[in-house]
């Protein structure tokens, strides 16, 4: 015979599963209507346009610093081209990690559920995105920028052992801040057509990914055991620090003829940059706070990442 508490727990669990299926069904419907093949959708043969930016200037790390004011317009535009390549490289790194997390997430789940079918749809989206970003980097003629070796290897471990809520919290971190920047990039007429096309496709498809990850993380923060929730708080705060460190590869400064150390120091001291990064993270930190991921320790880690005021 089941007790009242057991019955309540069972009812809650069934409710969560039903909710999970409903969310996935809506996302599948939307994917069927609004998905893109970047190879066909975008004109990859069109030459780069003179006088257009590869990234909006206000979103560049050095914008409005003393160094920025000394740079020529040509050097600023060159920095935009390299930072766009750096962000696209970071995007590919994240997406490859995410694909593995999603594969691990569905490994034990019902193969015919909508939740699993949507995860597979998202993996297919991310495959196209990573190919699209790689094409964009090549098109701009800037190099691929890898994250520092230590973080590359740290992520190798994390993507293999992370818990479900930890995985979804890291996913949101990777998706939401870049998404915020891309929402400002695709409508911007000063920006190269190809970059606008890439960011437009990404924003449309990414909105579903954010929804999927948010809803799953919200459920996990209700149903996961206490130790897992605690671990999620700490690992998410630590991930925010790594993310902020890796966001722009400092090699970009050297590649446009600037002093790397000086540039890094000025970015660190820049009030404008801090504001940009905190605005980009705003929607996410508000959500994490709402579902109980931002407590004492993790809040401190988030603050030290510079992403939270
Ligand atoms: Fe993506
Ligand atoms: Fe995504």
Ligand closest to Cα of 176 equals 2
pLDDT of 2: 53
Residues 6+ apart with CB under 8 A from 265: none
pLDDT of 10: 67
pLDDT means per 10 residues in the chain (309 residues)?
Answer: 62 76 95 96 96 98 97 98 97 95 94 96 97 97 96 92 90 92 98 98 96 92 92 92 92 98 97 96 95 92 94
For residue 79 the two structure tokens come to: 């920095």
CA–centroid distance, residue 72 to ligand 1 (Å)? 33
Ligand closest to Cα of 209 equals 2
CA–centroid distance, residue 149 to ligand 2 (Å)? 23
* CA 112 from centroid of its chain's CA atoms: 28
Ligand closest to Cα of 126 equals 1
pLDDT of 16: 76
Pairwise CA distance, residues 56 & 195, whole Å:
10
Handedness of CA 22, 26, 32, 36 (dihedral sign): negative
Q: Look up residue 250 and give its DSSP letter.
A: T
Ligand closest to Cα of 27 equals 2
Is 228 in contact with 163 (CB distance < 8 Å)?
yes
Is 211 in contact with 118 (CB distance < 8 Å)?
no
pLDDT of 11: 66
**Nearest-CA neighbor of 174 among 193, 150, 158, 194?**
158
Provide the whole-model pTM. Answer: 0.92
CA–centroid distance, residue 31 to ligand 1 (Å)? 13
CA–centroid distance, residue 249 to ligand 2 (Å)? 21
Instruction: Count Cβ atoms within 10 A of the Cβ of residue 33 and give its class: 0-12 exposed, 13-18 middle, 19 or more buried.
Output: exposed
| Beta bridge partners of residue 191, listed in sequence order | 53
Q: Please, what is the Cα angle at 216 between 101 and 86, to 5 degrees?
A: 50
**Nearest-CA neighbor of 139 among 64, 275, 38, 269?**
38
Ligand closest to Cα of 132 equals 1
Instruction: Give me the count of residues in the chain.
Output: 309
Is 97 in contact with 161 (CB distance < 8 Å)?
no
Ligand closest to Cα of 88 equals 1
Pairwise CA distance, residues 130 & 138, whole Å:
12
CA–centroid distance, residue 38 to ligand 1 (Å)? 12
CA–centroid distance, residue 260 to ligand 2 (Å)? 31
Pairwise CA distance, residues 64 & 67, whole Å:
8
CA–centroid distance, residue 168 to ligand 2 (Å)? 11
CA–centroid distance, residue 255 to ligand 2 (Å)? 29
CA–centroid distance, residue 128 to ligand 2 (Å)? 10
CA–centroid distance, residue 117 to ligand 2 (Å)? 15
CA–centroid distance, residue 3 to ligand 1 (Å)? 45
Domains observed in the chain: 17-305 (1.10.620.20)
CA–centroid distance, residue 238 to ligand 2 (Å)? 21
Q: How many CA atoms lie within 13 A of 169 on its CB side?
A: 33
Ligand closest to Cα of 208 equals 2
CA–centroid distance, residue 190 to ligand 1 (Å)? 23
Ligand closest to Cα of 127 equals 1
pLDDT of 157: 92
Helices (H), the chain: 4-33, 38-41, 66-70, 73-106, 114-140, 149-161, 164-185, 193-223, 226-246, 251-255, 260-269, 271-290, 296-305
């Amino acid at each position: 015979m089941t007790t009242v508490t057991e019955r309540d727990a069972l009812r809650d669990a069934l409710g969560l599963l039903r909710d999970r299926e409903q969310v996935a069904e809506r996302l599948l419907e939307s994917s069927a209507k609004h998905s893109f093949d970047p190879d066909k959708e975008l004109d990859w043969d069109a030459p780069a346009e003179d006088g257009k930016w590869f990234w909006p200037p206000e979103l560049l790390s050095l914008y409005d610093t003393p160094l920025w004011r000394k740079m020529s317009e040509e050097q600023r535009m060159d920095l935009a081209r390299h930072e766009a390549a750096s962000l696209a490289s970071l995007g590919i790194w994240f997406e490859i990690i995410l694909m593995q997390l999603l594969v691990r997430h569905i490994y034990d789940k019902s193969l015919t559920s909508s939740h699993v079918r949507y995860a597979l749809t998202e993996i297919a989206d991310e495959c196209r995105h990573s190919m699209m970003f790689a094409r964009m980097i090549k098109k701009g003629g800037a190099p691929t920028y890898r994250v520092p070796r230590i973080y590359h290897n740290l992520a190798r471990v994390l993507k293999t052992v992370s818990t479900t809520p930890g995985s979804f919290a890291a996913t949101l971190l990777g998706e939401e801040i870049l998404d915020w920047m891309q929402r400002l990039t695709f409508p911007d007429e000063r920006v190269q057509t190809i970059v606008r096309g890439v960011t437009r496709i990404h924003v449309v498809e990414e909105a579903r990914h954010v929804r999927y990850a948010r809803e799953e993380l919200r459920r996990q923060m209700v149903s996961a055991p206490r130790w897992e929730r605690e671990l999620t708080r700490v690992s998410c705060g630590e991930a925010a620090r790594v993310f902020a460190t890796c966001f722009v590869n400092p090699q970009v400064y050297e590649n446009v003829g600037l002093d790397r150390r000086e540039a890094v120091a000025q970015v660190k001291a820049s009030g404008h940059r801090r504001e940009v990064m905190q605005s980009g993270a705003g929607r996410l930190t508000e959500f994490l706070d709402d579902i109980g991921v931002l407590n004492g320790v993790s809040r401190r880690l988030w603050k030290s990442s510079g992403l939270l005021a």
